[in-house]
A and B are shown apart, each in its own frame.
Chain A
Amino acid sequence: MKFKAKNKAGAEIPQASLPDIIFMLLMFFMVCTVFKEYQGLPIIPPAARSTEKIETKRNITYVWADRNNRISIDDKIITIKNISAIIGEKFAANRRLIVSMKIDKETKMGLVNDIQEQLRDAYALRISYATRFK
Chain B
Amino acid sequence: MFTDKKKKKGESQIPTASLPDIVFLLLIFFLVTTTIDLDKGIDLTLPEKGGEVKVRSENISNVLINATGQILIDEEPVEVPSIREVVEDKIQARGFGADGKPILIVSIKTDRETDYNTYIEVLDQIKLAGATKISIAEPEGKR
Contact B120 A46 (CB under 8 A): yes
Which residues of chain B come closer than 8 Å to A132, judged between CB atoms?
Answer: 40
User: CB-CB < 8 A to A128: which residues of B?
Assistant: 39, 41-44
Q: Which residue of A lies closest to B34 (CB)?
A: A33
Q: Which of A18, A50, A120, A127 is in CB contact (< 8 Å) with B48?
A: A120
Q: How many A-B residue pairs have CB under 8 A?
A: 155
Give Cα A107 to B136, complex, Å. 17
A8 within 8 A of B: no
Tell me if A29 and B30 are in contact (CB < 8 A).
Answer: yes
> Is B123 in contact with chain A by the CB < 8 A criterion?
yes
The docked-state distance in angstroms from the alpha carbon of A104 to that of B48 is: 26
Interface: B113 (CB within 8 A): yes
- Report which residue of A48, A109, A120, A125 has the largest number of chain B beta carbons within 10 angstroms of its beta carbon: A109
Residues on the A chain within 8 Å of B86, using CB: none
Is the Cβ of A109 less than 8 Å from the Cβ of B113? yes
B110: which of A36, A50, A109 is its contact (CB, 8 Å)? A109
Which size class do A's interface residues fall under? 35 or more
Q: Contacts of A57 on B, CB cut-off 8 Å?
A: 38-39
A55 to B39, CA, bound (A): 8
Asked whether A120 and B49 contact (CB < 8 A) given A48-B120, A50-B127, A108-B114, the answer is yes
Chain B interface residue count, Cβ-Cβ cutoff 8 angstroms? 47
A110, B139: Cβ atoms under 8 Å?
A: yes
| Given A25-B27, A105-B116, A121:B46 Cβ within 8 A | no
Q: Does A92 contact B (CB under 8 A)?
A: no
Q: What's the minimum C-beta distance from A97 to chain B, rounded to whole angstroms?
A: 12
Contact present for B40 and A51 (CB under 8 Å): yes
- Can you name 30 A-B residue pairings with CB atoms under 8 Å? A1-B4, A12-B16, A13-B16, A15-B13, A18-B16, A18-B19, A22-B22, A25-B27, A34-B35, A36-B35, A48-B121, A51-B42, A53-B40, A105-B115, A106-B117, A108-B112, A109-B65, A109-B111, A109-B115, A109-B119, A112-B119, A113-B110, A113-B112, A113-B136, A113-B139, A128-B42, A128-B43, A128-B44, A129-B41, A131-B41
Given contacts A110-B139, A112-B116, 5 further A-B contacts (CB under 8 A): A36-B35, A103-B116, A123-B48, A125-B47, A128-B39
Instruction: List the interface of chain A (C-beta within 8 A of B).
Output: 1, 3-4, 12-13, 15, 18, 21-22, 25-26, 29, 32-36, 46, 48-55, 57, 60, 100-101, 103-110, 112-114, 116, 119-121, 123, 125-134
